[in-house]
Amino acid sequence: MDKIIIEGGNTRLSGQVTIEGAKNAVLPLLAATILAEEGKTTLTNVPILSDVYTMNNVVRGLDVDVAFDEANNQVTVDATGDILDVAPYEYVSKMRASIVVLGPLLARKGHAVVSMPGGCTIGSRPIDLHLKGLEALGAEITQTGGDITATADKLKGTTIYMDFPSVGATQNLMMAATLAEGTTIIENAAREPEIVDLAVLLNKMGAKVRGAGTETLTIVGVDSLHGVEHDVVQDRIEAGTFMVAAAMTSGDVLVKNAIWEHNRPLISKLMEMGVEVTEEENGIRVKSDVAKLKPVTVKTLPHPGFPTDMQAQFTALMAVVSGESTMIETVFENRFQHLEEMRRMGLRSEIMRDTAVIHGGEHLQGAPVMSTDLRASAALILAGMVADGVTTVSKLNHLDRGYYKFHEKLQALGATIRRVSEEG
Ligand code: EPZ
């Protein structure tokens, strides 16, 4: 397994960085291609990430033709044949996000078998809201031998109130409802930009989805959907990660083709700290002087609240800002593991259930650290840039799930960083 070695100290990032298509958009978009009974679907601006390869294999395992043209960042899917209704355990078990094939597969085939996703390091990740919603649409759900089997001759539109605005459950139910009989209303739906991107694709395919981006979705069922072309929305979390990297290194970075609207909760917190964030015609510019930044309190919430996927990275920024900052993680129950690792770098913090108090501004020291999940990996690398001495981050399989050429992009901005194989 590779590791990343960072020489910290006085890194000041400057220049421009380009953002990829969003991991958390392309995965459900790939699942949605299953719905097209005629014509091929081509997704462009597809990021080269290990999770994309995994989802391609999940869809391919349904006897669907999936061609990934990495050189042009595009995937073409032909689901026009008589596709299978059992998602391949080998790949589904690798990535819990595969669960979003359940809704479209059930809608297309009237029967679907998908293995039950396990938990992960950041939380137990139940799927009760997915299953409850599909049952409300008339599906019969059984769970045997670690598999979920869903059956429904024809899903029937209904009104579903979601106990929690789950992103994945909203996506599963929205996709299932596109081919249901009648109208489905999903209340307390997730509002993330990735939900909007999925609705745009579905409507291009011939679906009738209204209200995406608000807490109420209305989906009028249609008979069939067809293949289209669609450009994956920019990755707001990758963009946010580089915005935080610039802020914590007293940098001056233009995050190219980042979308201001998608990052408003993060931008508002950065500005509250004293970071200069400006909207330019081709992206978002971030300038800061760490010495002048003030500590803040942040609470993660479903969109349009502060994104939980920026929590770890933001705690690295809090670590360099003098004073006591507070991070409250309300979305996942175990998402502070990066702080345990940063303790090895000298960070003082107290964690009480969903709240972490961070004593920032005391110099971090470089150390060997281990990443526990995707965003923790990014946070530890960012911390390594500002720590005195050398930091080595291992277990990079997590990082490769959600960031493309992360260390090269940081290197191009001025970080002293390299990636070596464990042996090296
Ligand atoms: C998506 O996960 C993202 N993943 C996550 O990004 C992101 O953190 C999360 O949304 C929240 O924004 C993808 O899009 C592939 P949820 P998802 O269902 O859909 C509880 C990253 O780093 N819940 O909104 O799994 C759940 O336990 C990843 O890119 C239920 O209780 O998130 C959690 O506490 C990490 N029952 C909360 O809701 C359910 O049936 C949010 O989960 C479903 C969820």
Tell me how far the alpha carbon of residue 84 lies from the centroid of ligand 1, in angstroms: 27
Please choose, from the candidates 96, 101, 142, 90, the residue with its C-alpha nearest in 3D space to the C-alpha of residue 117. 96
pLDDT at 26: 98
Counting atoms of ligand 1 from 1, which one is nearest the CA of 164?
Answer: 38
Counting atoms of ligand 1 from 1, which one is nearest the CA of 24?
Answer: 14
The finding on whether 127 has its CB within 6 A of some atom of ligand 1 is yes
- Tell me which residue has its CA closest to atom 13 in ligand 1: 24
pLDDT at 19: 98
Residues 5-34, mean pLDDT to the nearest whole number: 97
Binding-site members are 23-24, 96, 125-129, 309, 331
* Contact predicate 230/392, CB 8 Å: no
Domains in the chain with CATH codes:
2-20+234-421 (3.65.10.10), 23-231 (3.65.10.10)
CA angle, residues 29, 34, 37, in degrees to nearest 5: 125
The finding on whether 171 has its CB within 6 A of some atom of ligand 1 is no
Residues 241-249, mean pLDDT to the nearest whole number: 98
The finding on whether 134 has its CB within 6 A of some atom of ligand 1 is no
Band (267; pLDDT cuts 50, 70, 90)? very high
- Each residue of 368-395: pLDDT tens digit? 999 999 999 999 999 999 999 999 999 9
Ligand 1 pocket test, pick from 23, 24, 406 with the greatest ligand atom count within 8 Å of Cβ, gives 24
Place of tokens 């500005």: 271
pLDDT at 424: 56
d(CA 217, CA 409): 38
* Annotation marks residue 391 as catalytic: no
Label each residue of the chain as H, E or C.
CEEEEEECCCCCCEEEEECCECHHHHHHHHHHHHHEEECCEEEECCCCCHHHHHHHHHHHCCCCEEEEEHHHCEEEEECCCCCCCECCHHHHCCCHHHHHHHHHHHHHHCEEEEECCCCECCECCCCHHHHHHHHHCCCEEEEECCEEEEECCCCECCEEECCCCCHHHHHHHHHHHCCCECEEEEECCCCCHHHHHHHHHHHHCCCEEECECECEEEEECCCCEECCEEECCECHHHHHHHHHHHHHCCCEEEEECCCHHHHHHHHHHHHHHCCEEEEECCEEEEECCHHHCCCCEEEECCCCCECHHHHHHHHHHHHHCCEEEEEECCCCCCCCHHHHHHHCCCCEEEEECCEEEEEECCCCECCEEECCCHHHHHHHHHHHHHCECEEEEECCHHHHHHCCCHHHHHHHCCCEEEEEECCC
pLDDT at 217: 98
pLDDT at 171 over 70: yes
pLDDT at 339: 97
pLDDT at 120: 78
The finding on whether 240 has its CB within 6 A of some atom of ligand 1 is no
pLDDT at 207 over 90: yes
Band (400; pLDDT cuts 50, 70, 90)? very high
pLDDT at 376: 97
Contacts of 22 (CB under 8 A, 6+ apart): 47, 193, 194, 197, 232, 233, 234, 235, 236, 237, 238
The finding on whether 24 has its CB within 6 A of some atom of ligand 1 is yes
- Each residue of 83-122: pLDDT tens digit? 999 998 898 988 999 999 999 999 999 999 999 987 678 8
| pLDDT, averaged across the chain | 96
Q: Which of 86, 116, 120, 390 is catalytic?
A: 120
- Tell me which residue has its CA closest to atom 3 in ligand 1: 24
Band (236; pLDDT cuts 50, 70, 90)? very high
What is the chain's length?
Answer: 424
Other C-beta atoms closer than 10 Å to the C-beta of 9 total: 14
Structure tokens at 73: 């960042």
pLDDT at 124: 81
Please choose, from the candidates 136, 134, 188, the residue with its C-alpha nearest in 3D space to the C-alpha of residue 165. 188
- Each residue of 279-294: pLDDT tens digit? 999 999 999 999 999 9
Percent of the chain at pLDDT exceeding 70: 99
The finding on whether 117 has its CB within 6 A of some atom of ligand 1 is no
pLDDT at 70: 98
pLDDT at 355 over 80: yes
* pTM of the predicted model as reported, rounded to 2 decimal places: 0.98
Band (143; pLDDT cuts 50, 70, 90)? very high
